[in-house]
Every structure is written in C-alpha cells, then in structure tokens.
C-alpha cells in the first residue's frame, strides 16, 4: 500500500473511532449545592450529611456527604444551612468524588460561619454555612461527595 493510501486509511479509521467518543459539554457549568452536615472530633474528625446540587443546565442531583480527617481538633458541630459553589465542572457527575481539605476553625454555640475551599483535580468547591456547636482546632483530611 502506498504511503498516501495508508495515511488516508489511517485518517478514516481514526475519524471513525473519534465519532464514538462522547463529546464533552461545550462550556463550564455553574453548579451550586445546598447541604446539611453534622459531626464530632476528638483528634479524629468525622461528619456526614446530605445535599442537593443544581447546575445551570437544569441538572439536579441528591448527594451524600462525608468528611474524615485528623489533627489537633476537638468539638461537635452541625451545619444546617450550608452552601457550596463548584468551579471547573462540565458535567454534573464531575462533582462526585474525594476532595482534599485543610481547615482551621474556632467557634462556640451558634457559630457565625464555617468556610473552606476543597479541590479535586480541576474541580474546586467553596463551602460556607451557619453552624451550631463548639469546636477548636486544625484538621486535615478528605471530603467525599457520593450519589
């Protein structure tokens, strides 16, 4: 087979393969999450909760949340009116997975707010919310979003 025929055949074959690859969304989505989270910590921090994610393309997903970690931390907290904003999302399923986090916190009954930024590859999540309980410390760990 001549070089030209081989190049044309390879181009047609790869074009056929490319057609089977699902196309990625054309632009970044604006996705937000409303959530509630409750937990405790004595050196080891644990919390769990649930939330709902809404994206600008109309997609909605109910999710389960888990936070785990360790450090110099003590307390008991609850966030009932939490909000999250994602960046780097092209499909609602991009939000699922394990996020790395590090936080410093201090608060007493009816804490004004907790805020933190989490990352998972190109996806970032900024969390904020009004909480209650008491806590003091520094914690490192993971924040997981599951369907």
Average pLDDT, the chain: 75
Let me know if residue 4 belongs to a domain: no
Between 108 and 128, whose confidence is greater?
128
- Residue 13 inside a domain? The answer is no
Give the tens place of pLDDT for each residue, 57-115.
999 999 999 988 766 566 777 888 889 999 999 999 999 999 987 554 545 555 545 56
134 lies in which domain range?
25-146
The SS3 call for residue 91 is: coil
Q: Which two tokens stand for residue 36?
A: 């509630």
| pTM of this structure | 0.70
In a domain, 61, yes or no: yes
Residue 112 falls inside a structural domain? yes
Stretch 117-144: mean pLDDT, rounded?
A: 77
Please state the rounded mean pLDDT for residues 40-56.
Answer: 86
Residue 108 has what pLDDT? 53
Tokens of 83: 């909000």
Q: What is the pLDDT of residue 6?
A: 41
Per-residue tokens: 61: 């997903």
Is it the case that residue 1 has pLDDT exceeding 50?
no
Residue 11 located in a structural domain: no
Count of structural domains within the chain: 1
**Measured CA distances, 108 to 61, 73, 74 (Å):** 33, 14, 12
Q: Is residue 85 in a domain?
A: yes
The confidence band for 116, taking pLDDT boundaries of 50, 70 and 90, is: confident
**Residue 62 domain-assigned (yes or no):** yes
CA 96, CA 12: separation in Å to the nearest integer?
A: 36
């Amino acid at each position: 087979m001549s070089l030209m025929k081989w190049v044309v055949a390879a181009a047609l074959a790869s074009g056929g393969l490319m057609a089977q690859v699902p196309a990625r969304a054309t632009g970044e989505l604006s996705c937000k999450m409303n959530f509630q989270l409750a937990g405790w910590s004595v050196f080891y921090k644990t919390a769990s909760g649930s939330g709902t994610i809404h994206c600008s393309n109309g997609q909605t997903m109910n999710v389960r949340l888990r936070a785990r970690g360790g450090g110099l931390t003590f307390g008991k907290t609850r966030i009932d009116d939490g909000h999250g904003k994602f960046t780097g999302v092209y499909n609602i399923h991009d939000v699922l997975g394990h996020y790395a986090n590090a936080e410093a916190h201090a608060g007493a009954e009816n804490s004004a707010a907790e805020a933190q930024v989490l990352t998972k590859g190109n996806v970032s999540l900024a969390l904020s919310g009004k909480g209650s309980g008491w806590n003091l410390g520094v914690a490192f760990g993971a924040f997981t979003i599951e369907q």
